[in-house]
Amino acid sequence: MPDPQPLLEVTDLAKSYALRGGFFDRTKGNVQAVDHVSFSIPRGQTFGLVGESGSGKTTTGRLIVRVIEPDTGQIVFRDEESGGIDLVKLSSRQIRPLRKKIQMIFQDPYSSLDPRMTVLRIVGEPLRATGNISRRATRERVAEVLEMVGLSDEYMNRYPHAFSGGQRQRIGIARALATQPSLIVADEAVSALDVSVQAQILNLLRDLQERFRLTYLFIAHDLGVVRYLCDRVAVMYSGRLVEIAEKPALYGNPKHPYTESLLAAAPRPEPEKLAIKPPYAGLALGPRTSAGGCAYFPRCPYRRDVCSREAPQLRKVADGHSVACHFDLTLTNANSSGTCGRENMQSKGSAVH
């Protein structure tokens, strides 16, 4: 059973940026990068945040690790020691002891490691940054976490250039593990890796989760990787969560047209399966901005008049399944193989009104 109190509870999180451009770099308006997003993650689970580039998923991750400041919202973090703290309310000084509880893994193993630092310094850095620790204790802890990620402690004095992409990603994971965090935000952690290396890193993330009861916020665009790793998934579009569900429901019975189009577009290694396609939801069909209406309106193949006027709110359609759409749509399930198929058929009947 998951804890009654989730490890992370995000409520109404919002962040906007001034949009600049033109000859004098004037402010042309605001972009709502993260638009009142709410979700929670039980301890020991993996929460997937998917969406295309520009959807706001990376900004959401960065807000949670507090490298950027939200405009509004709450980020409540709760573990045994800290009984429910709103990270947004803390000053940068107050947050320091919590930094070691929340760590991040980045996408690009080539640019996220400082080439001038040895593995010892890279992995040991968060230890030094979050507390007083002796040189010897740092060395010991670094050796320990390197072993956890499957690297020999002999690598400690080498520089990042000596490692392959997969090994670098292991170094990045070791760095995140060094301070014994309870939450890890992984932003496209396996996207830059080759298939065979990707599988190794995904297995490693699973093993570490079991071993240390880690909680992951797994941000990715690859729906296959998310399906493998995550327990619950939220789909983000244009700064908003448009659908949020347990994994079997999201993949077996998607309710938002955007989720449907993402699932249909995801490349799959099955030449025979390619005939099934939902109504074409590709190019922007209408105006780019739809002030006041549904953000997906310009691309939505099922849109009606109301969609251009009113923004749909997230509403519950089943236990643990919410969708931000005005309609109860019966959608194409391009993934009807496997265990989800039958479930899908049954719930479809009740979903049509």
Partner 1 sequence: MRSEGNTILDIQDLTIRFHMRQGLVTAVDGLELSLEEGRVLGVVGESGCGKSVMSRALIRIEAPGTIEKGHVRYVDRDGCEVAIEKLDPAGPAIRRIRWKEIAMIFQEPMASFGPQHTIGEQIAEAMELHGILCGRDRREAVVASLDSVRMPRPAETAEQYPYQLSGGMRQRAMIAMALSCRPRILIADEPTTALDVSTESQILDLLRERQMALGMSILYISHNLGVVAHIADDVAVMYLGRVVERAPVRVLFAAPKHPYTRALLRSLARVDRDIPGRLEVLSGGLPDPFLRPAGCVFHQRCPECISGLCDRVVPRWVRLGDGSAVACHLYGGDHA
Q: Contact between 249 and partner 1 (CB under 8 A)?
A: no
Q: Which of 108, 153, 222, 246 binds partner 1 (CB under 8 A)?
A: 222
How far apart (Å, rounded) are the C-alpha atoms in residues 3 and 17? 36
Instruction: Collapse the DSSP code of 33 into the 3-class scheme (helix H, G, I; strand E, B; otherwise coil) and give the result.
Output: strand
Interface with partner 1 (CB under 8 A), residue total: 50
How far apart (Å, rounded) are the C-alpha atoms in residues 237 and 311? 13
Contacts of 190 (CB under 8 A, 6+ apart): 169, 198, 201, 202, 220, 222, 225
Q: Which of 157, 180, 203, 346 binds partner 1 (CB under 8 A)?
A: 203
Q: Which of 1, 67, 195, 291 binds partner 1 (CB under 8 A)?
A: 195
Q: Which of 196, 211, 350, 352 binds partner 1 (CB under 8 A)?
A: 196
Instruction: Collapse the DSSP code of 342 into the 3-class scheme (helix H, G, I; strand E, B; otherwise coil) and give the result.
Output: helix
Q: Contact between 31 and partner 1 (CB under 8 A)?
A: no
Which residue do the tokens 């995550």 mark? 230
Shortest CB 170 distance to partner 1, Å? 11
Shortest CB 219 distance to partner 1, Å? 14
Shortest CB 199 distance to partner 1, Å? 4
Shortest CB 113 distance to partner 1, Å? 18
Strands 85-86 and 102-105: unpaired
Instruction: State the CB neighbour count (10 A cutoff) for residue 52.
Output: 13
Instruction: State the CB neighbour count (10 A cutoff) for residue 340.
Output: 18
Instruction: Give the binding range for partner 1 (CB under 8 A) out of 35-43, 82-90, 267-275, 313-321.
Output: 267-275
Instruction: Give the binding range for partner 1 (CB under 8 A) out of 75-83, 145-153, 269-277, 311-319.
Output: 269-277
Burial class (CB in 10 A: 0-12, 13-18, 19+), 153: middle
Q: Which of 266, 311, 318, 351 binds partner 1 (CB under 8 A)?
A: 266
Q: Contact between 37 and partner 1 (CB under 8 A)?
A: no
How far apart (Å, rounded) are the C-alpha atoms in residues 326 and 314? 9
Shortest CB 166 distance to partner 1, Å? 7
Residues in 96-155 that interact with partner 1 by CB under 8 A = none
Contacts of 338 (CB under 8 A, 6+ apart): none
Backbone CA torsion sign across 32, 35, 41, 47: negative
Binding site for partner 1 (CB under 8 A): 52-53, 164-167, 194-200, 202-203, 206, 221-225, 227-229, 247-248, 251, 261-274, 281-283, 334-335, 337-340
